[in-house]
Structure 1
């Protein structure tokens, strides 16, 4: 009889970020996206900038980073941050679900946490960027009500189109 090593979804807990989390989130993004999608090496640099910007400008009344875990083991993350240019707009960043936690609805729960918090914080809309090849993420965003605003070719990403999505709250 084969054992299932997937965590039980009822045992999952969410907490806000604490010291060390942003470095670990950056590390896990680099490893997972390299293994799963062979993204270019500069992806890690870009994620580290997002994490550093979050820490540099963090506003607890308007922003959050959640870490999903079971028994203190990291299973995923998501951040909701202020848009740099649009005052009434938030952005979903750093969404990641570890392989062992996929299929449990963790991504859906984290996106919903972001949407709920954005509403409470008074945002009018949420935007995010993703790549067309990230089909699971795109399905998650579609199911949450996000719509594609624009698609842009990205030469630096080996021609993979980058998409900007938006949800009006």
Structure 2
């Protein structure tokens, strides 16, 4: 008979959680190097990702609408946030001003230093344990809410799914219209590249995955093993539906693609993105990607700072 593992001491985990909360400044005083409350700091970081309304923000932060309304009013008065009326004229989409972008950049710099200094006291294997443990624990806490609402889980499936191509184009078009102001030219470039890839999708070094929420496609990612030359994988069309960002589904998609890359023996994996998409950048960097090139580009219909990240096999 297999011996069962000893149960985790709940009170010890609670003690560690309280210490974590105190050390990170959630009990009061300066938080993340600012004079803002923890909820305001989290709000700025979420708004930076793009495409959120006040209602979306309340759901993302698990706060009531009145609390979010008061907080947003202060951030708007401080000149960090603005609300712009969406195309349908019914809701206002939140975005950061230049002042807000500078404040969030300082928050990220402070937090990265704080985390780096703490991790520097641990061995690499211990650092990985911290990441995996916190990821699992946070996911379990989120899972409590999902279970209460009976939300279906997200499943990552390899290969073509009905409606996948149209949904990839749709998700890119809507997200980047809000986040970067892209329009018809961007959508056409995405559609053309995707159509060309689908014609050779069945080549051994190529693959595509869909994140499925019930019967709906809510995310995608692809590996193109041909267009950048031998030994180089091109990570393309990585996108999540607005409602699933921050749920961990994007990480599952990225991990599926990188497992494929490793199994195929690619020496390098490249991806192109734009500056300012800091949540995505953080995810890439946790998987070993390093920024290697930055240049202005206009192929998407307006000038943006394009970035190329590279992950090398070790």
TM category (shorter chain) comes to 0.7 to 0.9
- Structure 1 residues 61 and 126 mapped into 2: Cα distance closer, same or farther (>3 Å)? same
Q: Does the aligned pair in 2 maintain the 1:133–1:160 contact within 8 Å?
A: no
Q: How many residues align?
A: 167
Q: Partner residue of 1:93?
A: 236
**Partner Cα distance (1:46, 1:84) in 2:** 16
Q: Partner residue of 1:35?
A: 178
CA offset digits 1:17-66 (Å, max 9, x no partner)? 23531122112211221123322431101111221121112235211111
Of 214, 217, 220, which aligns to 1:74? 217
- Structure 1 residues 44 and 3 mapped into 2: Cα distance closer, same or farther (>3 Å)? closer
Q: Partner residue of 2:155?
A: 13
**Partner Cα distance (1:137, 1:39) in 2:** 18
Higher relative contact order (CA 8 A, sep 6+): 1
**Partner Cα distance (1:72, 1:37) in 2:** 29
Question: Displacement of 1:112 after TM fit?
Answer: 1.1
SS in 2 for 1:17: coil
2:279 equivalent to 1:165: no
- Structure 1 unaligned spans of 5+: none
Q: After the TM superposition, which residues 1-169 of structure 1 pair with which residues of structure 2 at under 5 Å, given as runs?
A: 8=146, 11-15=153-157, 16-156=159-299, 158-169=302-313
**Partner Cα distance (1:98, 1:64) in 2:** 20
Structure 1 window deviating more from structure 2 (52-61 vs 102-111): it is 52-61
Structure 1 window deviating more from structure 2 (156-165 vs 125-134): it is 156-165
TM-score w.r.t. the length of structure 2 is: 0.49
- Structure 2 unaligned spans of 5+: 1-57, 61-141
Q: Does the aligned pair in 2 maintain the 1:65–1:79 contact within 8 Å?
A: yes
Question: Which structure has greater helix proportion?
Answer: 2
Q: Does the aligned pair in 2 maintain the 1:130–1:163 contact within 8 Å?
A: yes
